[in-house]
Structure 1
Amino acid sequence: MSNGNESCMTGEGLAAFLACVFHAWEEWADLGRLEDYLSVLEYLVWVFTPLAIVFILPFLIVILLYLSILFLHVYKRKNQLREAYCNNLWDGARKTLATLWDGHGAIWHGYEIHGMEKIPHEGAALIVYYHGAIPIDYYYFLANIILQKGRTCHSVADHFLFKVPGFKLLLEVFSVMHGPQEECVKALRNGHLLGISPGGVREALFSDETYPLLWGKRKGFAQVAIDSKAPIIPMFTQNVREGFRSLGRMKFFRWVYERFRLPIAPVYGGFPVKFRTFLGDPIPYDPNTNATELAEKVQQAVQALIDKHQKVPGNVLRALLERFHRRQKEH
């Protein structure tokens, strides 16, 4: 400090004055320890950046959904004059979005479907699937139904999805319903495909890497199949829990959901793991089987797909490496 004071006392001119001021400020701010502060900051960035990324990536899926909605609104305005003359106004929009989502699945997850031939080109079928933390595999599946089968698969979604701002048009265009049994039966009797996950939001948030089915005693889907005399096709996507995971196992989030039906458990991930969707053999309508028996039979069929195609507990690193295993087999 004495050297700095002496230079201030003996220096002349503006340059000397500025040097004196900087020297005093440096000692007052203790900038000699700046390197230590930067090291700590670098460590914190190194630790927390990956954590931030895995929580941000799920929001990218939401952004893609909103971009899809924006496209639909633009498409609607552009084609509003043709609406009175064309019965299939949304076909072009559906195929365009299906192509975009199929491309996303192919690039980010190397998405595959095994057993697509079990989906009929016409006629009704009820598709029952395991619900991931984010059912992005089901979005890819719907895209493939549109592109490969030329059909639109109706879907049953939780009530809260219909309360999300801006989602109304997207749900309407892709024939998503909130699930009254009468509407489901009507869709199947009209010859449509219908997708439903008996586990729903509860399975999405509170299942884990061991892939338990959280269906409880639900059998409404089975009664729908009986009333419409439609076959049931079980479905499961390998590694869907490794793509996105939920913190729903924490007691607080489970309590909030059970008490208020608010699905607020954070979801993280977005890892580019291998996704393979497997479709099981159709379970035909049997007039001698009641809803309880059919629900149990379907649950066993989905569980069989999990047991056959999923290594439990799931592992993100292993699921990532499985993308390369397939390439090796092809060569």
Structure 2
Amino acid sequence: MEMWARNPLGLPKATPPPRASARGRRRSYPGPGPGPRGTFYCCHRCAQDMIGRTESCASGQIPMTYLSCLAYMLEEWTGVEYLEKYFFHVVIFSLMMSAILVFFIVPLTILFFIYLTNILLLIYQRNSEVKADPLSDVWDNARKTVASFWDIYARIWHGYELHGVENLPEGPGILIYYHGAIPIDYLYFLSRLFLWKKRLCLSVADHFVFRLPGLKLLLKVTGVMPGTREECLSALKNGHLVSISPGGVREALFSDESYQLMWGNRKGFAQVAIDAKVPIIPMYTQNVREGYRMFKERRFLRQLYESTRLPITPPYGGIPVKFRTYIGEPIPYDPNITTEELVEKTKTAVQALIEKHQTIPGSIWKALLDRFDKKQKSD
């Protein structure tokens, strides 16, 4: 009777729902946010969608790693299935491409600025209706603007310094210099020389330079020429300085942090100096190989260059190391010297500048510290 009074309908006794364990309570999160052990809980909608794939909706939210959650959200936004399976590979590939881009971003930026300079010269030519010879003084205002831009870039990025300008003759002469991976240091030299002395130094460049599209006016205004014997003699006769790198593209591509000169059998510059009766002035830029480098020489790359004469290997780097250009004492004209002797004498002079001012093998770390070396600044 007592039991019937307590339960007149004879219904089974209700059992209260089981109490969630401590572990279960830790897995219940009200919304998106971090979970235990590096997991991440997405929103309720995301969780229910995922539950529909593998679990019952009664199980609530499910823990996910950060990458899994991101991959799933990308799947929802892009409509691409199974993205989570390949997401890790995509991330690794993206990181690798970013690292490669960092290696090449500064050289590409320099190339962009070079083309921008040519565009500005074209605008100047059109607005001023200049039809004069690109080497005439009419272009001096444009040259000053271009030189100022590159000089500012040189000061900021490489703390550029130029030493030994007093060694340049008042009249004509031939400058012989070591060729870095890219001749950006030589561009700095041209800019600083024009700003200081208002003097234009004509440059001998490889033939492939004149096949680059969109640089015709810039090459003419800055005095870049193919460098035949007749052109060099004419420029020297008109009182210009002429700069030549006997190593050229081969030295740019295949020299390294040992700063080895790679002139081969080139001696035309010496014959021109003898014929024009002008001095030869050696020049070298400290740390030029630490700022920009080439990939280590491989036999097939060397063979490819020798067969095509094109710079196939791209430079990398752009590290803001210290650049100092040193102009050595001139080698005076000597009517009794032979071409071979003058070549060896010039090579010895350039090598002496390298040994005096460069740590060999080159060190990127030391080249960076050179920017803070007060003692060398006063040399």
TM-score (norm 1): 0.87
1:32 maps to 2:60: no
1:189 to 212, 237, 240: 237
Which amino acid in 2 is paired with 1:174?
Answer: T
2:114 — aligned with what?
65
**5 Å matches for 1:72-87?**
72-80=121-129
Shift of 1:21: 3.8
1:306 aligns with 2:334: no
How do residues 145-184 of structure 1 correspond to structure 2 at under 5 angstroms? 145-184=193-232
Per the TM alignment, residue 156 of structure 1 is displaced from its structure 2 partner at its CA by 0.1
Matched, 1:322 2:370: yes
Which sections of structure 1, spanning at least 5 residues, go unmatched?
A: 1-15
SS of equivalent residue, structure 1 residue 155 = strand
- In structure 1, the residue matched to 2:163 is 114
Is the alpha carbon distance of 1:328 and 1:281 closer, same or farther for their aligned partners in structure 2, counting shifts above 3 Å?
closer
Cα deviation 1:225-281 (Å, max 9, x = unaligned) = 111111111000000000100125122221110111121112100000000111110
Q: Structure 1 residues 184 and 41, CA, compared in 2 at 3 Å: closer, same or farther? A: same
Aligned residue type for 1:124: P
Q: Residue 12 of structure 1 aligns with which residue?
A: none
User: Which residue in the other structure is 1:10 paired with?
Assistant: none
Q: Name the CA shift for 1:164/1:111 in 2 (closer, same or farther; >3 Å).
A: same
2:155 equivalent to 1:123: no
SS in 2 for 1:287: coil
Q: 1:286 to 1:31 in 2, by over 3 A?
A: farther
1:242 partner SS: helix
Alpha-carbon deviation of 1:114? 1.1
Q: Distance in 1 between matches of 2:199 and 2:45?
A: 79
Matched position secondary structure for 1:265: coil
Cα 1:44–1:291 change in 2 (3 A) is: same
Offset at residue 123 of structure 1 (A): 1.1
CA contact (8 A) 1:98 1:146 kept: yes
Deviates more, 1:249-258 or 1:179-188: 249-258
> Which 4+ residue blocks in structure 1 deviate beyond 6 angstroms?
16-19, 36-44, 327-330
Which residue in the other structure is 1:230 paired with? 278
Cα displacement (A) at 1:56: 2.1
Distance 1:251 1:18 in 2: 56
Q: Which amino acid in structure 2 is aligned with residue 67 of structure 1?
A: L
Contact 1:210 1:313 in 2 (8 A): yes
Identity of aligned residues (%): 53
Write the letter of the residue equivalent to 1:35.
L
CA distance in 1, matches of 2:141, 2:113: 18
Distance in 1 between the 2:368 and 2:326 partners?
A: 18
The residue correspondences of 1:180-219 to structure 2 (distance < 5 A) are 180-219=228-267
What RMSD, in angstroms, separates the aligned Cα atoms of the two structures?
A: 2.7
| Superposed displacement of residue 51, structure 1 | 3.6
In our comparison, the structure showing a higher alpha carbon Rg is 2
Alignment counterpart, residue 133 of structure 1, candidates 154, 161, 181:
181
Residues 248 and 265 in structure 1, CA contact (< 8 A), matched pair in contact too: no
Instruction: State the structure with bigger RCO (CA 8 A, min sep 6), 1 or 2.
Output: 1
Query: What is aligned with 1:8?
Result: none
The alpha-carbon deviation at position 89 of structure 1 amounts to 2.4
In 1, distance between residues paired with 2:330 and 2:171?
Answer: 13
Q: Report the alpha carbon displacement of residue 50 of structure 1 after superposing the two structures with TM.
A: 3.7
For 2:160, the aligned partner's letter is: Y
Q: 1:249 is matched with which residue: 297, 313, 319?
A: 297
Q: CA deviation at 1:117?
A: 1.0
Contact 1:184 1:194 in 2 (8 A): yes
Q: Equivalents in 2 of 1:81, 1:217: separation in Å?
A: 42
Amino acid across the alignment from 2:64:
G
Provide the aligned length of Structure 1 versus Structure 2.
312
